[in-house]
Amino acid sequence: MNKKEVLSGNAAIARGFYEAGGAVAASFPGSPTVEIMHTLNTEYPDIYSEFSVNEKVALEVGIGASFAGARTLVSMKHVGVNVCADPLMTFTQTRINGGFILVTGDDPGMLSSQNEQDNRFFGKFANMPILDPSDSQEAKDFVKTGLKLSEDYNAPVLMRITSRVCHSRSIVALSDRENHQISGFSKKLEDYGMIPPNTFQKQFDMQDRLVRLAEDANRMSINRLEEKETSDTLIVTSGLMYQNLKELNLDVSIYKLGMVYPLPVKTLKELSKKYKQIIVLEELMPFIENEMKIHGIGCIGKELFSFTGELGSEDIEDGLLKAGVIKDKSSESIEIVETVGRVPMFCAGCPHRPVFDILKKAKVSVIGDIGCYSMAVLPPLNILNSIISMGACISIMKGMSKANTIAGNKEPLVAVIGDGTFYHSGMPSLLNMLHQLDSSYNMTLIILDNGTTAMTGGQPNAGTGKYGSQYDMHVSIENIVKTMGFERLKVIDQFSYKEASKSINEELKHEGLSIVIATRPCALNFKIKETNFYVDPKICIGCRSCVKTNCPPIAMKAYKGIEKLKSSINPYMCVGCSVCAQVCPVNAIKRKKEGQNESV
């Protein structure tokens, strides 16, 4: 095959897995890696791939497939590895049958994440070799390298990729799919039954594979030296930092690591004798730098480069200027023009809008969770008081209620959670509410069931089956809640604004735990577009009730011949959800009739 394609890093990983003869893949959606499984789902039918219920489940599906001898890929965002850390830390002790690669998407600069953790430390913690690709071609190649390393060294492999490399596109040369036989599970108790004494030998096995990997790393082609004869400085780097450094076209030697753990210690020690100084260039924490120092290789790194955020070429120049490697900067950094800001907001027709409008008017403070509704922490809503991790809001509400009770405070509490997050890890939290439930404490849990895992691009989840027979899971949250034994439950249609408002406000006042399920589907994912609405400026009194719902197409406007500003609706953006028309006190907002011109 002699074909090239422009692929994102994510799509290249999927391609690499296909070419490597991969058989089973699992993930839970999370930026920046969501497109890996999406690509496997949509473009590679030879591979079994799934978005699992959560990351722990995904990893365990992967463990089973690898046990059975299939080449396996599991992918997730960086924080997903926290969720699957329990099986990972024990799986890493077992004998690898089918090659296993875990792809983690780290997010320097937190473009779409709740923290900035550096998962290379997870790789070391779990005694795994770690690969770090710098562009799409390497992302594809390293999946194949990783699966081979996994089988050859008897280790699950961590591929750490950063959000830029996930989403950046570049040209990739394609190859054909290798044939990889699925050997079957050996059932050797000493290799897979991980309790003592079987685990004793495994500690030595893990140690041994790292020693072998560190030795062989000196000869691996993915670690390479690019020497400049006149340079007395060696820069050790990996991933996108290599590309950003190359961009500067400097007269400096570079050691590029494809595998960042374990390090090719012997090679680096020899190089350290030859060079006056070694600089480690890496984003986030000083991982490579620390590893080098542990092995007695003198270097500097984080005293030159920030420990947080992304490092662009201009940041690299700043650091190298400090180290005296360069004398001047090539030019000034881009500074974006200081102008009006633009935070993300709920889409036109978003089913979360009326719920948060009602909660805002009720003047409550809400414990949040992870999903599109996290955006309710942003202006102008500013209604969420906390966001921590998937499924956390229910247990946080319980803990607060218990602490408040001890303090003699019975302040009512409200929490919101989406359907994907509820299935992911909200369910155990809800179950735990039954334990020592205080029936006199006013708590309200609102489950925003929009039928999809929306924030990451609308992946189907356990409840999406109600919106189409192509989705095989049709789990009713209402039934789960009832089966668990919760009695106070209301199921609402939040697009019937007045009824929804009445129901939510009743539950907000109810002494004890009540649960509200809001059932409207995601407008974006299900492409809901009905005839748009318009404002009749002659009726509009300029009260801004509609504007306050914070809907993208709605803004105040100066109409010709009308002195005061009146509301307006952008017809291209309106999807006809009717919420603005329902909050309008004077019926100035009307649905456009067929054949009628756009806004008046």
Partner 1 sequence: MSQYNIIIAGVGGQGLILTTKIICEAAMNGGYDVKSNDVVGLAQRGGRVWGSVKIGKKIHSPNIAVAGADILLGMELLEAFRWKSSLKDKGLAILNEYQIPPVPVIAELEKYPQNIVEEFKKNHHVIALDAIKKSNELGTDKVANILLIGILAKNTDIDKKNWIETIKDSVPEKFVDENLNAFDYGYNL
Residue with smaller CB distance to partner 1, 85 or 556: 556
- Decide: is 321 part of the binding site for partner 1 (CB under 8 A): no
Give the orientation angle of helix 136-153 with respect to helix 198-217, to 10 degrees: 130
Tell me whether residue 225 or residue 558 sits nearer to partner 1 (CB atom): 558
- Min dist. Cβ of residue 122 to partner 1 (A): 21
Answer for which of 82, 223, 550, 599 binds partner 1 (CB under 8 A) is: 550
| Cβ neighbours of residue 242 closer than 8 Å, sequence gap 6 or more | 134, 254, 256
**Residue 340 near partner 1 by CB under 8 A:** yes
Min. distance of Cβ 317 from partner 1 in angstroms? Answer: 8
Question: If binding is defined by CB under 8 A, does position 525 make contact with partner 1?
Answer: no
Minimal distance, residue 91 CB to partner 1, in Å: 29
Q: Which of 31, 52, 97, 401 binds partner 1 (CB under 8 A)?
A: 31
Give the per-residue contact string, 147-166, with partner 1 (x = CB under 8 A; - = no): ----------------xx--
Burial class of 489 by CB neighbour count within 10 A (0 to 12, 13 to 18, 19+)? middle
Among 204, 230, 273, 337, binds partner 1 (CB under 8 A): 337
Q: Which residue of 375, 387, 575, 589 would you call a contact of partner 1, by CB under 8 A?
A: 375
Interaction with partner 1 in 193-252: which residues (CB under 8 A)? 240, 243-244, 246-247
Residues 130 and 120: beta-carbon distance below 8 Å: yes
Binding to partner 1 (CB under 8 A) within 466-495 occurs at none
Residue 364 binding partner 1, by CB under 8 A: no
- Contacting residue, 130, 427, 455, 584, with partner 1 by CB under 8 A: 455
Work out whether 556 is an interface residue with partner 1 (CB under 8 A): yes
In this structure, the number of other CB atoms found within 10 A of the CB of residue 55 comes to: 29
**Count of chain residues binding partner 1 (CB under 8 A):** 57
Can residue 171 be called a binding residue for partner 1 (CB under 8 A)? yes
CB within 8 A of 146, min separation 6: which ones? 99, 101, 129, 131, 157, 159
Q: Of how many residues is the chain composed?
A: 600
595 binds partner 1 (CB under 8 A): no
Our finding on whether 377 is near partner 1 (CB under 8 A) is no
What would the DSSP string read from start to end of 501-555? HHHHHHHHH-SSEEEEEE-PPPTTTTT---PPEEE-TTT-----TTGGG--TTEE
Choice from 95, 148, 167, 266 touching partner 1 (CB under 8 A) = 167
Q: What is the 3-state secondary structure (H, E, C) of 54-86?
A: CHHHHHHHHHHHHHCCCCEEEEEEHHHHHHCHH
The closest of 162, 160, 131, 173 to 244, measured between CA atoms, is 162
Closest CA to 515 of 410, 425, 438, 442: 442
The token duo for 418 is: 């989406």
When the beta carbons of 340 and 406 are compared against partner 1, the nearer one is 340
Cα–Cα distance for residue pair 56/73, rounded to 1 Å: 14
Cα separation of 51 and 77, whole Å? 13
Q: Closest CB to partner 1 among 71 and 164?
A: 164
Using CB under 8 A as the binding rule, whether residue 342 contacts partner 1 is answered as yes
Q: Per rule CB under 8 A, is residue 346 in the interface with partner 1?
A: yes
Closest CA to 30 of 84, 68, 94: 84
Decide: is 576 part of the binding site for partner 1 (CB under 8 A): no
Which of residues 50, 85, 112, 389 is near partner 1 by CB under 8 A? 112
The distance of Cα 588 from the centroid of its chain, to the nearest Å, equals: 41
Residue 420 CB, nearest distance to partner 1 (Å)? 16
- Asked if residue 545 binds partner 1 (CB under 8 A), the reply is no
| CB-based contact 587:580 (threshold 8 Å) | no
169 scored as a contact of partner 1 (CB under 8 A): yes
Cα gap 299→483, rounded to integer Å: 60
With CB under 8 A as the contact rule, the residue among 336, 440, 563, 597 that binds partner 1 is 336
Q: Return the H-helix or E-strand segment holding 49.
A: strand 48-51
CB of 306 to partner 1, least distance (A): 15
- Among residue numbers 289 through 318, which ones bind partner 1 (CB under 8 A)? 312-314
Sequence letter at residue 585: P
Task: Report the b/e string of 133-170 with b at 16+ CB within 10 A.
Answer: bbbbbbbbbbbbbbbebbbebbbbbbbbbbbbbbbbeb
Q: What is the dihedral of CA 395, 399, 401, 402, to 10 degrees?
A: 140
Q: Which residues bind partner 1 (CB under 8 A)?
A: 4-6, 8, 31-32, 111-113, 135, 163-164, 167-171, 240, 243-244, 246-247, 312-314, 330-337, 339-347, 372, 375, 379-380, 455, 457, 547, 550, 552, 554-556, 570, 572-573
